[in-house]
């Protein structure tokens, strides 16, 4: 089970990555250095963020942020991650 600080770090890492471009599940797993990125995406959805999921030809998930969600993400990151700059 992840600690509260590691889950917060995962949320920040996933949001920062998704601001840059859509990411496959495998890319987020590599970024987080674990194999449970769908849980991190679920945590974000529970926090009220809209994360879109599409599938490639191999049925692998690709996560992205709609443009309308990006201002909310910038605000969240600015409040919760002191070193974040956009």
Task: Count structural domains, the chain.
Answer: 1
Helix axes 25-32, 37-46, angle to 10 degrees: 90
The answer to whether 73 and 12 have CB atoms below 8 angstroms apart is: no
Q: What is the DSSP string of 16-79?
A: HHHHHS-EEHHHHHHHHTSS-HHHHHHHHHHTT---EEEE-TT--EEEE--GGGHHHHHHHHHH
What pLDDT was estimated at residue 10? Answer: 82
- pTM, rounded to two decimals: 0.79
Q: What is the pLDDT of residues 33-56, one digit of tens each?
A: 877 788 889 989 999 999 999 988
Mean pLDDT of the chain: 84
Q: Is residue 29 part of a domain?
A: yes
Here the CATH number for the domain that contains residue 50 is 1.10.10.10
- Give the structural domain span for 31: 4-80
- Residue 86, domain member (yes or no): no
């Amino acid at each position: 089970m992840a600690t509260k600080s590691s889950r917060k770090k995962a949320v920040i890492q996933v949001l920062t990555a998704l601001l840059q471009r859509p990411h496959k599940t495998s890319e987020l797993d590599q970024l987080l250095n674990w194999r449970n990125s769908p849980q991190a995406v679920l945590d974000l959805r529970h926090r009220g963020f809209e994360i879109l999921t599409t599938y490639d030809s191999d049925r692998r998930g690709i996560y992205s942020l709609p443009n309308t969600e990006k201002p909310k993400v910038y605000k969240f990151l600015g409040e919760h991650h002191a070193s974040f700059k956009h």
